[in-house]
Amino acid sequence: MITLIRWELWQRRWSIIWWSFGVTAFIALNLAFYPSFKDQSQQLSQAFKDIPDSAMALLSDTGDFFSPTGYLSSQVFYLMLPMLLGILAISLGSSLIGREEKDGTLELLLSRPISRSILLASKAIAGLLIIGIVGIVATVAITLLAKIVRLEVPLPDIALAAFVCWMLAVSFGSVAFMISSFGRARIASIGLATLFALGGYVSASLKSVASWLKWPSKAFPFDYYQPANIMNNNYRWLNATFFIATIIIAGIISWLAFRKRDVTT
């Protein structure tokens, strides 16, 4: 199993490097404006009053853009970092098995003394590690850049928010991985997992202005994310069990589907 994991990581080494660079660049771009944002907070506060509530809800989970925690949540953790890690996770989930099948190398792998369970587990663990590596790079970048621009948010709070963001992204990727394990459904896995992610983001963001979305939003992981509450130490950690449950259920279904289907069709 370790050999398979190492091989998968080696094959995707350049992807990891470029994703790490890209995520760091986006974080730097967002945090670089904090000093100017802070200096003009009074003027901006007046301007933000004219923005519709629905638009505000899509940008932040608290509506607070001016405190250090509020700024970091709205500019990085609420949308930008989940979106980037989510894209990475969904693309990985759809390609870990899907790419091997498309290239015709999956049959070759299974012709060796490797069980389907070990192959599937190796692919899944490699995917978790890749998302984790990029997530760690993002956490380090946020911490260093926050110090540079004097955005005073404690390191433990940043680390916890990044960890929950990682779980959120993995839950998206696990759905794509589950769908791709059924067969030649790479495009479908990307589409359905993206719908799962975006549907949750929209419903969770707009439930404060559209009360009928309150219950539908609970079916999606994004409703349980709440980065500002994490950094303000108000997060209900029981919410994190939704991510864990999603990942475990998707993993079990993936295993049941992959071990029984004919990979030659």
Q: Per-residue pLDDT tens for 85-117?
A: 999 999 999 888 877 776 666 666 666 667 878
Q: Give me the pLDDT at residue 37, please.
A: 72
Q: What is the pLDDT of residue 49?
A: 63
Residue 42, number of CB atoms within 10 A of its CB: 9
pTM over the 0.75 mark = yes
Instruction: Report residues of the chain scoring pLDDT below 70.
Output: 39-51, 53, 102-113, 184-186, 261-265
In this structure, what are the phi and psi dihedrals at residue 225, rounded to the nearest 5 degrees?
Answer: -85, -70
pLDDT mean across residues, the chain: 86
- pLDDT given at position 48: 60
